A = this chain, B = another copy of it.
Amino acid sequence: MKLGEFGEDRLLAQLLPGLSRNRSVVLGAGDDCAVVRFPRQDNFQLLKTDCVVEGIHFTAASPPASVGWKAMARPLSDFAAMSGVPQFALVTLIVPANKTLAWTKKIYRGLEKAARTFQVAIVGGETSDSSGPAVISVSLTGFVEKDRWVGRGGGKAGDELFVTGRLGGSLRGRHFKFTPRIEEARWLTKHFLIHAMMDLSDGLGADLPRLARASGVGFEVDENVLPRNRDCTVTQALNDGEDYELLFAVSPRDSPRLRKSWARKFPRLLLTRIGRLNRKSQIANRKWHGYVHFK
């Protein structure tokens, strides 16, 4: 059935019932706004929005449940980057009228799966039609304890740089299946003082310079130790993007304990020391550009 045969009320009546809620939800999707309770006050609130666009982040042939997963997992990865706990999601679906109801429901199935996996309640679901490509936009709110919040700007010269997992080649399919590193980030800030952290969405080659710039320092990286996915070159590991792994900086004093406890806690997820922050960058190299938007 084509969406063109549907009114918005009927479409939302198909999509919204049964969305995951949590105990803080007073009123979920369906009224003018969602209404939720505030958590305790020794927290900061976090807010993040992100979207995926057909033809850019996925294609008409991409499995819709995977597209939905990705649309939710991307802002979740930004929550991980700040050691945040996500709580509530608002979803906007912009769908051309020639998409089917089945396709749209599968998008929601993927959104829901990612939301449930991280105990997030979807409390708003807007739809709009469009003459152009489908867009799924997800806004997330949640919190982080004031003493556990990590931005990009706290890195210090001398800090060691770590990345989780492996880099490169995500377009072979991993960009639809990645796991936001929320559990790992929460563990990191519970046990260690993390000076700066971000998630790798545009590729280490673009993202590390951003972290260094925000911290007012330079960086040096040993390209030979970069954890690469199978059959990936260094250039691919630097620039493919969509890795959604964590990049973070810690004091060299914490490094040995970190590496040992990490290996015990997350035996199946690689943690690699790739270099360090310094007073001035050693690398000014064409390989370091990552994915550049609008090009």
- Tell whether A230 is near chain B: CB-to-CB under 8 Å: no
Count of chain A residues with a beta carbon within 8 Å of a chain B beta carbon: 75
- Tell whether A35 is near chain B: CB-to-CB under 8 Å: yes
Question: Are A45 and B56 within 8 A (Cβ)?
Answer: no
- Please, which residues of chain B bring their CB within 8 A of the CB of A135? 94, 130, 135, 137
Beta-carbon nearest neighbor of A52 in chain B: B128
Q: Which of B48, B90, B131 contacts A32 (CB 8 A)?
A: B48
Question: Are A34 and B47 within 8 A (Cβ)?
Answer: yes
- Tell whether A214 is near chain B: CB-to-CB under 8 Å: yes
- Tell whether A84 is near chain B: CB-to-CB under 8 Å: yes
Q: Which of B43, B92, B130 contacts A55 (CB 8 A)?
A: B130
Query: How far, in Å, is A99 (CB) from chain B's closest CB?
Result: 10
The interface stretch among A3-11, A155-163, A219-227, A278-286 is: A3-11
- Please, which residues of chain B bring their CB within 8 A of the CB of A50? 92, 126
Question: Are A131 and B128 within 8 A (Cβ)?
Answer: no
- Tell whether A41 is near chain B: CB-to-CB under 8 Å: yes
Cα separation A26 to B45 with both chains bound (whole Å): 9
Cα separation A139 to B81 with both chains bound (whole Å): 21
- Tell whether A27 is near chain B: CB-to-CB under 8 Å: yes
- Produce 1/0 per residue, A20-44, CB < 8 A to B: 0000001100011111111111011
The interface stretch among A164-172, A263-271, A287-295 is: A287-295
Q: Which of B11, B137, B140, B151 contacts A137 (CB 8 A)?
A: B137
Question: Are A128 and B51 within 8 A (Cβ)?
Answer: yes
Query: How far, in Å, is A194 (CB) from chain B's closest CB?
Result: 13
Beta-carbon nearest neighbor of A153 in chain B: B31
Cα separation A39 to B152 with both chains bound (whole Å): 25
Cα separation A259 to B54 with both chains bound (whole Å): 51
Question: Are B126 and A49 within 8 A (Cβ)?
Answer: yes
Question: Are B51 and A34 within 8 A (Cβ)?
Answer: no
- Please, which residues of chain B bring their CB within 8 A of the CB of A210? 9
Cα separation A149 to B6 with both chains bound (whole Å): 32
A32-B152, A33-B84, A90-B139 are known contacts; what are 18 more A-B pairs with Cβ within 8 Å? A5-B294, A8-B292, A8-B293, A31-B151, A32-B151, A33-B47, A34-B46, A36-B44, A36-B47, A38-B43, A41-B41, A48-B90, A51-B92, A54-B132, A56-B128, A56-B130, A94-B135, A130-B133
Nearest 10 interchain pairs by C-beta: A132-B132, A8-B293, A139-B139, A32-B81, A49-B90, A32-B78, A33-B48, A33-B46, A34-B47, A132-B133
